[in-house]
Amino acid sequence: MVEVNLPELGEDIEDATISFWHVEEGEHIVKDADLVEITTDKATFNVPSPVTGILVEVIAHEGENVQVGNLIARIQEDD
């Protein structure tokens, strides 16, 4: 299982808000495709999927504010 954390967005950015997930739990996603869109300040930022696999669990839901580095999802990588 691969854990997805909220990535570093810049030196002074500590958190961001989940705007929406591009895929739902149980759906397949390929590596580098947009996984989740987050917003911070005047920017939207798409977090790419780190691997190809099934999005097993969404930890941070839409509208939630998340600290950089915190766990937001788990993906079961394809064999």
Integer Cα distance of 57 and 52 in angstroms: 15
Q: Does 43 bind other proteins (CB under 8 A)?
A: yes
Query: Cα 23 from chain centroid?
Result: 10
Task: Pick the closer one to other proteins by CB: 48 or 74.
Answer: 48
Q: Which of 2, 30, 31, 39 binds other proteins (CB under 8 A)?
A: 39
Q: Which residues contact 46 (CB under 8 A, 6 or more apart)?
A: 22, 34, 35, 36, 37, 38
Q: Which of 34, 52, 54, 74 binds other proteins (CB under 8 A)?
A: 34
Query: Taking a C-beta distance cutoff of 8 angstroms, is the pair 58, 5 a contact?
Result: no
Judged by CB under 8 A, the stretch of 23-31, 39-47, 52-60, 68-76 that binds other proteins is: 39-47
Give residues in contact with other proteins (CB under 8 A): 8-13, 19, 32, 34, 37, 39-46, 48
